[in-house]
């Protein structure tokens, strides 16, 4: 390490700048990564509190707490904030922190753009959240903003929503370009593509997905903007347009988007399972190819979100079989994780608990996805709580547990201190129980026919909704514990060694904990 410090002694003195300018003007990947993670957690709490409004209203049948209009705004904003504000920025934050450390690079390839792509995000979400206080209220058409609900019948604030989506799209695209440039150009000598850690691989593929689909999202909101303000008729039947076209274009973005939210978690989980099994990952190459296959196939299945629009039989069959086919590479990954654990020397610290829960619960979410993929059955499940149960099972114990696992796994590296293991395990078990209580009954509600996005429901759904609300409150309260654990870990605790997990592999564990402000100024040699 002294070599690193020597190099910098010759250069002008480096260290974080003081005060607010450190954060405003920083080009340091660790600072930007931390900001991304903090922003994402703030959005997680905001989106979560909106979910609490939803669950409080649904605790009993009838209208108790909010008006139906406001309820719709809550479901819409909850979805948008969680997808674009919480999950995606969290993974970009992890990428910023870990990619340079994992590939032995001194920083991201385009540090100034990195700063810009972060600071666009608070601007975008300031605009989005401000719509709550506008006349006519926030967007209320669901996070999928189907036309004509969002064009002809949307509130005036829809224009602000469109602008916010444009800005967050630009931010995501810049982040993706940065990841691609970093991974392709800045790997340490000797680190060939097939020697890259899996988190780097999954992020590289995610970045390609982002570049491919974020512009399509920008395109579809631009079309909406033109329909609303410039008299075009992309989605307006009276001018020769077609509302179904909206769904096609939206889901052409939307389906790869769901893989954008899960692939980086796949990568992180692979590291964690291998570290706490004290075995190298089983089937590294097949993991890489599986992620690639999932990414490519994600472009061929979008219409499984819209089986009920009146598609011809051939179309339904194609999208059904293509969707079922994705289970194959996903299955390869799940079996590889399980095989990695098989006869390993397992220990269950908090990252591993979250990782194992990820594997089990994500698989449940995957199976309900397979049920939904079956076109004839989907007509029964479409737009019911079964769909809500499905995507919360892949996003909460999938993406979010993946982020928690990563956070606990790398917190010692970030802060230099060990987190409080007892509290972390408490956080896990409360999250695990709360999350399952909240989302498992939704399967039954959906199968029994409760539609999604409604503020009121028939009496027979009461018990499951109450259980679900109690679970949701429990899950949400538990996340404040996570905040406490992280703050406690930042402020002090047991000193973390450079490599706190004895089974962990990778360049990030060769630098001291906490990782110095500048690392790998001299590239390490990878054999």
Closest approach of Cβ 177 to other proteins, in Å? Answer: 4
242 interacts with other proteins by CB under 8 A: yes
CB atoms within 10 A of CB 457: 19
**Helix extents (H) in 279-384:** 284-297, 313-341, 350-373, 375-381
Nearer to other proteins, 381 or 520 (CB): 520
Among 125, 161, 234, 404, binds other proteins (CB under 8 A): 234
- Main-chain dihedrals φ then ψ at residue 494, nearest 5 degrees: -65, 135
Nearer to other proteins, 181 or 346 (CB): 181
Provide the 3-class DSSP secondary structure of residue 433: helix
Tell me the C-alpha distance between 527 and 169, whole Å.
38
Nearer to other proteins, 217 or 407 (CB): 217
Tell me the C-alpha distance between 80 and 173, whole Å.
17
Among 102, 147, 205, 213, binds other proteins (CB under 8 A): 213
The answer to whether residue 229 is catalytic is: no
**Catalytically annotated residue among 166, 255, 271, 518:** 255
Nearer to other proteins, 217 or 357 (CB): 217
The residues, any chain, with a CB within 8 Å of residue 78's CB and separated by 6 or more, are 47, 50, 51, 54, 143
310 interacts with other proteins by CB under 8 A: yes
- DSSP lists the bridge partners of residue 17 as none
211 interacts with other proteins by CB under 8 A: yes
Which residue, among 262, 154, 173, has the nearest Cα to 219 in the 3D structure?
A: 173
Among the listed ranges 30-38, 59-67, 239-247, 505-513, the one in contact with other proteins (CB under 8 A) is: 239-247
| Helices 284-297 and 198-229, axial angle in degrees (round to 10) | 10
Closest approach of Cβ 219 to other proteins, in Å? Answer: 3
The answer to whether residue 305 is catalytic is: yes
Among the listed ranges 46-54, 121-129, 191-199, 205-213, the one in contact with other proteins (CB under 8 A) is: 205-213
**Catalytically annotated residue among 78, 166, 279, 499:** 78
Which residue, among 98, 92, 111, 100, has the nearest Cα to 28 in the 3D structure?
A: 111
Nearer to other proteins, 142 or 315 (CB): 315
The dihedral through the CA atoms of 56, 61, 64, 65 has a sign that is positive
The answer to whether residue 171 is catalytic is: yes
Angstrom distances, CA of residue 129 to CA of 77, 78, 89:
8, 11, 16
Among the listed ranges 217-225, 400-408, 420-428, 441-449, the one in contact with other proteins (CB under 8 A) is: 217-225
**Helix extents (H) in 195-312:** 198-229, 243-260, 263-277, 284-297
Cβ(90)–Cβ(173) below 8 Å:
no
Q: What x/- string results for residues 246 through 285 when contact with other proteins is judged by CB under 8 A?
A: --xx--x---------------------------------
Nearer to other proteins, 70 or 116 (CB): 116
Closest approach of Cβ 292 to other proteins, in Å? Answer: 17
56 interacts with other proteins by CB under 8 A: no
Total binding residues for other proteins by CB under 8 A?
A: 40
Cβ(369)–Cβ(331) below 8 Å:
no
311 interacts with other proteins by CB under 8 A: yes
**Catalytically annotated residue among 34, 76, 172, 206:** 172
**Catalytically annotated residue among 31, 257, 349, 378:** 257
292 interacts with other proteins by CB under 8 A: no
Cβ(113)–Cβ(174) below 8 Å:
yes
Cβ(90)–Cβ(504) below 8 Å:
no
**Catalytically annotated residue among 30, 166, 271, 304:** 304
The residues, any chain, with a CB within 8 Å of residue 210's CB and separated by 6 or more, are 172, 173, 175, 176, 260
The answer to whether residue 304 is catalytic is: yes
The answer to whether residue 333 is catalytic is: yes
7 interacts with other proteins by CB under 8 A: yes
Cβ(443)–Cβ(368) below 8 Å:
yes
Among 135, 285, 312, 376, binds other proteins (CB under 8 A): 312
Tell me the C-alpha distance between 450 and 383, whole Å.
9
Provide the 3-class DSSP secondary structure of residue 495: strand
Tell me the C-alpha distance between 338 and 331, whole Å.
10
The answer to whether residue 452 is catalytic is: yes
Among the listed ranges 171-179, 325-333, 428-436, 465-473, the one in contact with other proteins (CB under 8 A) is: 171-179
Angstrom distances, CA of residue 254 to CA of 210, 215, 224, 403:
11, 12, 16, 21
Q: What x/- string results for residues 87 through 116 when contact with other proteins is judged by CB under 8 A?
A: ----------------------xx------
Among 92, 220, 306, 332, binds other proteins (CB under 8 A): 220
| Chain residues that interact with other proteins, rule: CB under 8 A | 7, 10-11, 109-110, 152, 173, 176-177, 180-181, 184-186, 211-216, 218-220, 223, 234, 237-240, 242, 244-245, 248-249, 252, 310-312, 315, 522
The catalytic site residues sit at 78, 107, 143, 171-172, 255, 257, 259, 270, 304-305, 330, 333, 452
């Amino acid at each position: 390490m002294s070599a690193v410090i020597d190099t910098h002694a010759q250069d002008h003195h480096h260290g974080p700048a003081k005060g607010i300018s450190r954060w405003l003007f920083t080009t340091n990947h660790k600072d930007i990564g931390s900001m991304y993670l903090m922003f994402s957690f703030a959005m997680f709490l905001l989106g979560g509190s909106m979910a609490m409004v939803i669950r409080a209203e649904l605790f009993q049948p009838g209208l108790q707490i909010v008006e139906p209009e406001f309820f719709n705004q809550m479901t819409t904003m909850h979805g948008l904030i969680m997808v674009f504000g919480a999950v995606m920025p969290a993974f970009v934050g992890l990428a910023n922190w870990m990619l340079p450390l994992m590939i032995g690079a001194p920083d991201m390839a385009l540090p100034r753009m990195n700063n810009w792509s972060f600071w666009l995000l608070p601007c975008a979400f300031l605009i989005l959240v401000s719509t709550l206080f506008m006349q006519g209220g926030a967007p209320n058409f669901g996070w999928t903003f189907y036309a004509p609900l969002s064009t002809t019948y949307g509130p005036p604030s829809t224009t602000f929503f469109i602008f916010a989506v444009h800005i967050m799209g630009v931010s995501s695209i810049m982040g993706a370009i940065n990841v691609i440039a970093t991974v392709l150009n800045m790997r340490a000598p000797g680190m060939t593509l097939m020697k890259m850690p899996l988190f780097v691989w999954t992020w590289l593929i995610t970045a390609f997905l982002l570049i491919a689909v974020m512009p399509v999202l920008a395109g579809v909101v631009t079309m909406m903007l033109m329909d609303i303000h410039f008299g075009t008729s992309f989605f307006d039947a009276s001018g020769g347009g077609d509302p179904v076209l909206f769904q096609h274009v939206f889901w052409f973005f939307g389906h790869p988007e769901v893989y954008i939210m899960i692939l980086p978690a796949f990568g992180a989980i692979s590291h964690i399972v291998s570290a706490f099994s004290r075995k190298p990952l089983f089937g590294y190459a097949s993991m890489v190819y599986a992620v690639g296959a999932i990414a490519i196939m994600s472009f061929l299945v979008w219409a499984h979100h819209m089986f009920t629009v009146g598609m011809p039989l051939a179309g339904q069959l194609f999208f059904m079989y293509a969707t079922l086919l994705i289970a194959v590479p996903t299955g390869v990954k799940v079996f590889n994780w399980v095989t990695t654990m098989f006869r390993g020397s397992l220990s269950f610290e908090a990252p591993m608990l979250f990782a194992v829960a990820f594997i089990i619960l994500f698989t449940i979410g995957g199976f309900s996805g397979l049920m939904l993929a079956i076109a004839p059955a989907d007509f029964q499940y479409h737009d019911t709580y079964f769909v809500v149960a499905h995507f919360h099972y892949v996003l909460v114990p999938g993406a979010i547990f993946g982020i928690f696992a990563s956070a606990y796994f790398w917190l010692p590296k970030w802060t230099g201190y060990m987190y409080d293991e007892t509290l972390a395990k408490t956080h896990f078990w409360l999250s695990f129980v709360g999350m399952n209580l909240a989302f498992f009954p939704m399967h039954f509600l959906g199968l029994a026919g409760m539609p999604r996005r409604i503020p009121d429901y028939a009496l027979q759904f009461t018990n499951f909704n109450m259980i679900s609300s109690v679970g949701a409150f429990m899950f949400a309260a538990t996340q404040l514990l996570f905040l406490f654990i992280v703050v406690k870990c930042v402020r002090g605790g047991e000193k973390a060694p450079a490599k706190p997990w004895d089974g962990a592999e990778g360049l990030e564990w060769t630098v001291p904990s906490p990782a110095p402000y500048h690392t790998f100024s001299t590239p390490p040699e990878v054999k």
